[in-house]
Each structure stands twice: as C-alpha cells, then as structure tokens.
Amino acid sequence: MSDVPSHISLAGKTALVTGGASGIGLAVAAYFRQLGASVLVADLADTAPAGFESAYERGDVCSESDVIRMVERAAHEGRLDIAVCCAGIADQLVPTVEQDIETWQRVLDVSLRGTYLVCREAGQRMLPRASGALVTIASVTALGGFPRRNAYGASKAGVAHMTKSLACEWGGSGVRVNCIAPGYIATPMVEQVLERGRLDGRRITERTPMRRLGQPAEIASAAAFLASDWASFVTGAVLPVDGGWSAFGGSGDVATS
C-alpha cells in the first residue's frame, strides 16, 4: 500500500467533464480543478461557466463529431487521464401513454448515446497508454422501477450496464470505468421539476433516510475518489450516492416504517 497517496490528488491529470456548465457537472469540474487537474468543460450552454471561459467547449454529446472535438481538445499532447460523463436531461414525468417518442428518444440519446460516445473516444486515448479513469453518471432510477420515469430510468440503467461491460472489457488494459448513481440532488434541473410540481419535495425527503436532498459537491467528491489513485482497484462499480434512498425497503416514509 506504500504507493497509495496520503490524500486524494489529481495533480498533473487532464480531465474532460461533459454537462459541466451547471449542477453536478460544474461541481465536478470545479472540484477536480481544486485537486490539481487540468479540466475542460463541455456543454451545450452558450456561455461558459465562471472560471472556465478559456477551458470550455460548446457541443452536443449526441453528436459524434462534437464528442471527437471535445476529447481531442481535452487531451494534452494526446493524453487524456479522466473523463466524467455528466450530460443529461430530465424526462417528461407524465404517464407513459401520454409520452411522445421524440422526447423519449432525446432523453436516451443524451444520457446513453452521449455517454457511449464519450467513453469510446476517451478509451481510444487511454487504452494505448494502459491508464485512465472514466466516471459515468447514472441515477437511483436505474436501480428500481419509477413510474412515469421510463425514459430517464431506461437511459440510466443502460449507463450502469455499459459501465460494467466497459470495466470488464478494459480492466486488463489498465483503464478503470465506474458509475455513480445519485439520488435526488439539489441541481437546477431537479429544482425546476420541483417548482413545476412534477415532484413532491416533501415526500422525497421523507423517503430518504438522511432526510434531505443531496448537494452537487457530494457527487463531485465521490467522482474524485473514483477518478483518483485511491480507487486503483475499483472498476465496474455502481456507487449509490443517495442519502440511503436505494437502501430503504420500508413502506411509507423512513420515520414511520
């Protein structure tokens, strides 16, 4: 264990964070930079987030050419050490019989197709060097059935499964692939859904053992662990960061079960 660092550091690492203009992605990018990584943020937003004006690439993860451009720019002298796939969009949150296929397909394209393209392109840079770490973002909706969430849940279940498959395929080549399954996190996307009344914030917190929403920084710290040398023997993991949501098996809310 002598080669394990005394603290988590990403110094000297190059990293790409997709979906990095806000929410979880921005928290990941900011924390990785704090830990010493050279970070490129990629997103569809027209404006770069504060502090990343010179390290921002606008693009759509659903576009193969855009992803190739993102990865090429993120790689320093052809080397890419870390990629974190945070790009995602919310689904309709309406009964299945009222959902339209175009919206359903867009949700799958952003989360699943986008993650696949980023992993594929990043893997092309990492495999020849026999080194690299990929972190994908799934959801607790990937771990169980969520009514009216079949687009989002299916896309995130696909991400979790693909993570395990890539970990098995690339593990012998020195490239690690892990997944985080967040619970309900206080991101702009979740807050907008709560404000529109599509989700009940009170019921969510009552159902969560830790009795609150998570914070983007709490996902960022988990991503930093998985991307760092501290997780050197961790690959193919799907790590719930959900305040105990996926562990709870009682009926009703936590306090009365």
Domains in the chain: boundaries: 14-183+215-232
Residue 201's pLDDT band (boundaries 50, 70, 90)? Answer: confident
Looking at the whole model, is its pTM more than 0.75? yes
Q: What is the pLDDT of residue 50?
A: 96
Which tokens hold the place of 217? 């920084």
User: Of 31, 56, 152, 184, which residue is the catalytic one?
Assistant: 152
Distance CA 47, CA 21 (A): 8
The residues near 222 (Cβ < 8 Å, ≥ 6 apart) are: 180, 239, 241
What is the CATH T-level fold of the domain 14-183+215-232, as seen in this structure? Rossmann fold (3.40.50)
184 in catalytic set: no
Q: What is the pLDDT of residue 198?
A: 74
Phi, psi of 56, rounded to the nearest 5 degrees: -135, 135
**What number is the average pLDDT over the span 225-244?**
97
CA nearest to 147, candidates 205, 98, 105, 94: 94
Q: What is the pLDDT of residue 250?
A: 83
CA nearest to 61, candidates 12, 106, 11: 106
Q: What is the pLDDT of residue 6?
A: 62
CA nearest to 111, candidates 177, 41, 181: 181
Distance CA 10, CA 3 (A): 15
Which tokens hold the place of 82? 């870390």
- List pLDDT tens digits, range 130-161: 999 999 999 999 999 989 889 999 999 999 99
| 224 neighbors 176 (Cβ within 8 angstroms) | no
